[in-house]
Amino acid sequence: MAPDWNTTLPNYRGRFAPSPTGPLHFGSLVAAVGSYLEARSRQGEWLVRIENLDPPREVAGAAREILATLEALGMEWDGEVIYQSQRNEVYQAALAVLEQQGLLYPCVCSRKEIADSSINGIDGPVYPGTCRGRFPAGRSSTALRVLTHDDSIEFRDALRGPIRQQLASATGDFVLRRADGIYAYQLAVVVDDAAQGVTHVVRGVDLLDSTPRQIYLQQLLGYPTPAYMHLPVVTNAQGEKLSKQTQATAVDVSMPVVQLVAAVRFLGQTPPAELAESNVASFWRWALENWSPQKIP
Ligand code: GLU
């Protein structure tokens, strides 16, 4: 069972893990600010990891731009930034551990075949297990899936309370390495959170549904499970999550405090109006003294 938010671990270590598919936009700023305030207000560390697993989706220069924006906003991280693009061997080693336990199998189904023979789950079609036990392992140009089972995965989210999900009906056996050789987010995030010793994960609620898959992989790989807090996500006028796909605009670093004040307001905090006219250092002093996660809507 994953630890509760407040009952855990003396040495808090949080992280912000942006995907460099574009510059930092207001939605990712909220996740950065929430994870930063929660970590720093508890004298914890705050790490930054660039999640650039998928080369075609990466935008040249975006990682550098995101880091420069965090710096301009006065958000200092601990240690070296790690880049997922440089960690394929570590992900492969984790797959080998699962493979040895007989938990992986190659899958040659096309998207269309899966869509045609499946019911919809939380994240698209639930994989019906077509390739389970069908192909000899070791062919490199197939996707690799991990076996799931009927037992529910349960955890308590710091804001949303108890969450329970049965992977067999929510997603089915899920992909850990795609047919093109790219490691899945679900695998990489688990390997990296463990490798970096992350104790507390603060991120957007769009990832709440992914957390049971991640806890399941932590259990299979013998890693500790961090505590989780899923923040509300920023949506545009159409109700879509801000992202590169929905044309979110970059955070304007010429007015850093205005952006930071807007981010903490979004998180339910109540900064005084004059704070918007102050500087970055005064903003953080106020924000750290007054941070109350119980106010997050
Ligand atoms: N890289 C993911 C994103 O930008 C976040 C992953 C995470 O925080 O676990 O949406």
- For every residue of 132-180, DSSP letters joined together read TTTS-TT-TTSEEEE---SSEEEEEETTTEEEEEEHHHHTBSEEEE-TT
Q: Answer whether 189 contacts ligand 1 (Cβ < 6 A).
A: yes
For residue 275, CA distances in Å to 29, 128, 260 come to 18, 54, 10
Quote the percentage of the chain above a pLDDT of 90: 80
Does ligand 1 have an atom closer than 6 angstroms to the CB of 203? yes
- What the block records as the tokens of 199 is 């104790």
Q: Is the CB of 214 under 6 A from ligand 1?
A: no
Whether 82 is in the pocket of ligand 1, judged by its Cβ within 6 Å, is: no
Closest-CA residue to 231 (of 38, 1, 6, 77)? 38
Q: Is the pLDDT of residue 3 over 90?
A: no
Q: Does the C-beta of 18 come closer than 6 Å to ligand 1?
A: yes
Q: Ligand 1, from 13, 15, 16, 19: best to mutate by most atoms within 8 Å of Cβ?
A: 19
Residue 273 CB coordination number (10 Å) = 7
Could you tell me which residue, 51 or 4, shows the higher pLDDT?
51
Atom of ligand 1 nearest to the CA of 15: 8
pLDDT at residue 235, rounded to an integer: 84
DSSP symbol at 184: P
Sheet containing 174-177: order of strands: 104-107, 143-146, 174-177
The second-level CATH assignment, the architecture, of 13-85+195-206+223-295 is: 3-Layer(aba) Sandwich (3.40)
Cβ atoms within 10 Å of 51's Cβ, excluding its own? 20
pLDDT range class, residue 237, cuts 50, 70, 90 = confident
pLDDT attached to residue 119: 86
The band of 236, judged by pLDDT with boundaries at 50, 70 and 90, is confident
Ranges in the chain annotated CATH 3.90.800.10: 89-177
Q: Which two tokens stand for residue 32?
A: 């950065």
Q: Are 81 and 67 in contact (CB under 8 A)?
A: yes
φ and ψ of 48, to 5 deg = -120, 135
Q: Does domain 89-177 have CATH number 3.90.800.10?
A: yes
Measured distance CA(266)–CA(297) in Å, rounded: 8
Q: Which residue has the tokens 């049971």?
A: 212
Mean pLDDT, rounded, for 49-60? 93
Cβ of 168: how many Cβ atoms within 10 Å? 18
Q: Sheet of 82-83: strands edge to edge? A: 13-16, 45-50, 82-83
d(CA 295, CA 297) in angstroms, rounded, equals: 6
pLDDT confidence of residue 239: 80
Minimal CA–CA distance to 291: which of 42, 7, 75?
42
| Span 7-25, average pLDDT | 88
Assess contact for 75 and 36: CB atoms under 8 A.
yes
Q: Which amino acid is at 168?
A: A
Write down the residue that tokens 């790690």 correspond to.
82
20-41 core/surface letters (b: 16 or more CB in 10 A; e: else): bbbbbbbbbbbbbbbbbbbbbb
CB count, 10 Å around CB of 96?
A: 11
pLDDT grade, residue 234 (50/70/90)?
confident
Distance CA 228, CA 32 (A): 15
Whether the pLDDT of residue 182 is over 90: the answer is yes
In order, the DSSP letters of 61-120 are THHHHHHHHHHHTT----S--EEGGG-HHHHHHHHHHHHHTT-EEEE---HHHHHHT--E
Q: Where in the chain is the domain with CATH 3.40.50.620?
A: 13-85+195-206+223-295
In the predicted model, is pLDDT for residue 139 greater than 70?
Answer: no
